A and B are shown apart, each in its own frame.
Chain A
Amino acid sequence: DIQMTQSPSSLSASVGDRVTITCRASQSIRSNLSWYQQKPGKAPKLLIYAASSLQSGVPSRFSGSGSGTDFTLTIISLRPEDFAIYFCLQSYSPPFTFGPGTKVDIK
């Protein structure tokens, strides 16, 4: 099975900050990597698919990059509504696996 790691596990940031979250796969997953935002009591929301494509309706301050084993989610100019938990997912080969998540909270 493909293992996914994420770093950091949590971070504190201020409104307006630039935030970078990384995700690493235990083997190449090409570009089959997506990013999700989850707020308390809510379902996850797709932000980025195919490693770098912005899902329709998602603000352009979110971006993704990477391929193979190393991936990055960047939020430029953090807004109050961005404080949440972020997960990556590999959908290259079942069983699909999520990263453990990164909690972004207010500094």
Chain B
Amino acid sequence: EVQLVESGGGLVKPGGSLRLSCAASGFTFTDAWMTWVRQAPGKGLEWVGRIKSRSDGGTTDYAAPMEDRFTISRDDSKTTLYLQMNGLKTEDTAVYYCATEFYSWGFNYWGQGALVTVSS
């Protein structure tokens, strides 16, 4: 059974940093392209960015609002995906989901989400 479990969410002050983790199991993580999606309270879904598998270059892509502040990485030995968030703003308050990319067709498995609240 595929499982994605996010952790590391919490309350952080504006300008602060936080690192989210996504522990994966039930599939071959090393082959997976992984993505992060967020959802502000009461709002729609917003793609944050993704990381390709190491065999496909391990490169990353980001949405413009996050490109200079967020970094996606992976540790295949731990089957874990990370989202390092720096310079957090109040508008980054959201539930952050990790998900697996199903080729270029969509995101087929999702974690339960981690809430990040940016507030003074």
Contacts and interface: CB of A to CB of B under 8 A. Distances in A.
B79 to A, nearest CB: 19
Interface string B54-66: 0000000111100
A32 B104 contact: yes
Interface residues of B, number: 23
Contact of B64 (A53, A92, A95): A95
Contacts of A96: 35, 47, 50
A43 B6 CA distance: 12
Given A98-B45, A98-B47, A100-B44, A43 B110 contact: yes
Contacts of A92: 104
B8 to A, nearest CB: 17
Contacts of A44: 37, 45, 97, 107, 110
B112 A46 contact: no
B46 interface: yes
Main secondary structure of the interface of B (DSSP, over half): strand
Interface in B60-106: 61-64, 97, 101-102, 104-106
23 contacts: A1-B64, A32-B104, A34-B107, A36-B106, A38-B45, A43-B97, A43-B111, A44-B45, A44-B107, A46-B108, A49-B105, A50-B106, A53-B105, A55-B108, A89-B45, A91-B106, A95-B61, A95-B62, A96-B47, A98-B37, A98-B44, A98-B46, A100-B44
Given A36-B107, A50-B105, 7 more contacts: A32-B104, A44-B97, A46-B102, A49-B106, A96-B47, A98-B47, A101-B45
Interface of B: 35, 37, 44-47, 50, 61-64, 97, 101-102, 104-108, 110-113
Listed from nearest, the 6 A-B pairs whose CB atoms lie closest are A34-B106, A94-B61, A43-B110, A49-B105, A49-B106, A98-B45
